Structure 1
Amino acid sequence: MLKVIIGEDDPAMRLVLRRVLEGIFGIEVIGEAGNGRQLVSLVEEFKPDVVFVDVDLPEMNGVEAAREIFDIDPKIFIIFATAYDSYTHEAFEVYAFDYLIKPFKLERIKQTMKRISELKGERDKSGIVERLMTPPVGENRENKNLKLLVYSNDKCTVINVHEIILITRFDRKTVIHTARGNFTTNETLKQLEERIKSEKLFRCHKSYMINVDMITEIVPWGNRSYLIKLANVKETAIITQEKLKEFQEKYCL
């Protein structure tokens, strides 16, 4: 069952979209918001799978709300639904899965939701691929012994940089995934990226940094993006089309 929240300031349009979505098998509309701030609050409270966002929302516009939502959970599928096509560039800058123009076409919404359901099912069933956590041959001793000090709740945790598999944003915090557990910090991804000096950690997305040695598979995801599966963790990452090209140029033969 896909849980959906609708962000739309026009009550009549919210009703139309709700009826369309509830007519699709496997869809449950769990909330509606009339402005951007309310939408972000509902997302934070109810953790939906999909959010429909009108670009032209009061108090906080749809693009700004989408950025906030990605800081809560970058795996949420965001679909911009608007009467204007002039915001397409801004929408895809925040990794929107799709962009629908009003009046909505029922078949297009069905296709989009079917694709999301398939992708979510694939992501949920992906298991952990075991891989020996050793640095590649040729990596120098200095990099192997590099430590990262992570401060959280008056506690300092020491993490071996070569053990980091993935760093991501979730619930407005930064989570560092390693084979021996997960560690949470209030530091931003940008701050960690500037502190960690390792060629093996690659910023593939606004909300993700990955260990390139732990990549097991890259598959198509939303519009202009791909899903990355990693060894030793169930968590996956997203890489944008632009970052995939950069990754290929930097690391691939």
Structure 2
Amino acid sequence: MKCILADDEFPSREELKYFIKEFSNLEIVKEFDNGIDVLKYIESYEIDVAFLDISMPGLDGISLAKIVHKMNSEIKIIFITAYKEYAVDAFEIQAFDYFLKPYSEERILSSLQRIEESLKENLKSEVTVDKITVLDNEKMYVINTEEIYYIEANGKQIKVVTKNGEFLSKNKISEITTKLNPDGFYKCHRSYIVNLDKVKEVMPWFNGTFMLRLKDINKEVPVSRGNIKEFRRLLSM
């Protein structure tokens, strides 16, 4: 369960970081002091929770949250601010919670517990399948998921690649992810899901990333920097 902190007040950020590290299982993957850098990060990396200060340079927390919600509505937004008057705006964009400074320890611990419970419920509700429906020249086919080598999102087009050809899917890549067996498939990049059983070679790439060479087909799939740690764990690297 990955989270980010965005607050231009360093002492406030440090205090919240202490509570998260000591009293939750959330992993803080990045800290920011402005909204623009948050947006750039979320465009490339997957997170579950975002703690956002409302008053930040570059892009305020409310405007940032509206953009983030459109990009990925599953990210839980928690606002942190010294001002009560933004509460209505926060909940209009379906914020998970709203912390006032100075922080109340009891309030934060209660919210952290609710966040973890909510994320765990989401995982429980995900149902894996062993078949998926794909399209080829307007015809529909049902294929076994074990036949899939990788899935690629290119804009609104979702491509499902097998040894025998490439197909299209009407589902979003985030929707497909929840249906596939997490032990066999990994979302190694914002735009790619790879079948780990089809990986033949892991090649070091730029900026500490990897490129995956697949069996049987002349294709390579990238692993983004934000997914390197989990990928190493999955493959016991």
- Residue 13 of structure 1 aligns with an amino acid whose one-letter code is S
**Offset at residue 108 of structure 1 (A):** 1.2
May I ask how many residue pairs the two structures share in their alignment? 150
Partner of 2:109: 110
Q: Is the 8 A contact 2:24 2:112 kept in 1?
A: no
Q: 1:108 to 1:175 in 2, by over 3 A?
A: farther
The residue that corresponds to 2:234 in the other structure is none
Q: 1:182 is matched with which residue?
A: 170
Give the corresponding residue for 1:77: 76
Distance in 2, matches of 1:13 and 1:90, equals 22
C-alpha deviation, 1:105, in angstroms: 1.1
Deviations 1:51-81 (A, max 9, x none): 1111111111101110121122110110011
Letter in 2 for 1:90: D
Relative to structure 1, is the Cα distance of residues 16 and 123 closer, same or farther in structure 2, using a 3 angstrom cutoff?
same
Alpha-carbon distance in structure 1 between the residues aligned to 2:119 and 2:112: 10
Q: Which residue of 2 aligns with 1:11?
A: 10
Find the residue that maps to 1:111 and give its secondary structure: helix
Matches within 5 A, 1:19-168: 19-128=18-127
Unmatched tracts of structure 1, length 5 or more:
131-155, 161-170, 186-229, 236-253
Q: Aligned pair in 2 of structure 1 residues 63, 23: CA closer, same or farther (>3 Å)? A: same
Name the CA shift for 1:119/1:36 in 2 (closer, same or farther; >3 Å).
same
- What is aligned with 1:211? none
Considering only aligned residues, what root-mean-square deviation do their CA atoms show, in Å?
3.2
Provide the secondary structure at the position in 1 that maps to 2:170: strand
CA distance in 2 between counterparts of 1:84 and 1:157 reads 55
Task: Write the letter of the residue equivalent to 1:40.
Answer: L
Distance in 1 (alpha carbons) for counterparts of 2:10 and 2:28: 15
TM-score, structure 1 normalization? 0.52
Q: Kindly indicate whether the alpha-carbon contact (under 8 Å) linking 1:7 and 1:34 is maintained by their aligned counterparts in 2.
A: yes
Q: Distance in 2 between matches of 1:89 and 1:159?
A: 47
Distance between the aligned counterparts of 2:13 and 2:154, measured in 1?
Answer: 28
Is the 8 Å Cα contact of residues 84 and 100 (structure 2) preserved in structure 1? Answer: yes
Post-superposition offset of 1:44: 2.6
| C-alpha contact 1:173 1:184 (8 A) present in aligned 2 | no
Question: What CA distance in whole angstroms lies between the structure 2 residues aligned with 1:125 and 1:175?
Answer: 28
In structure 2, the CA distance between the partners of 1:39 and 1:159, relative to structure 1 (3 Å rule), is farther
Q: Quick one: distance in 1 between partners of 2:42 and 2:107?
A: 24
Runs of 4+ residues over 6 Å off in structure 1: none
The answer to whether the Cα contact below 8 Å between 1:175 and 1:183 also exists between their aligned partners in 2 is no
Aligned residue type for 2:95:
A
What one-letter code is carried by the residue in structure 1 that aligns with 2:87? T
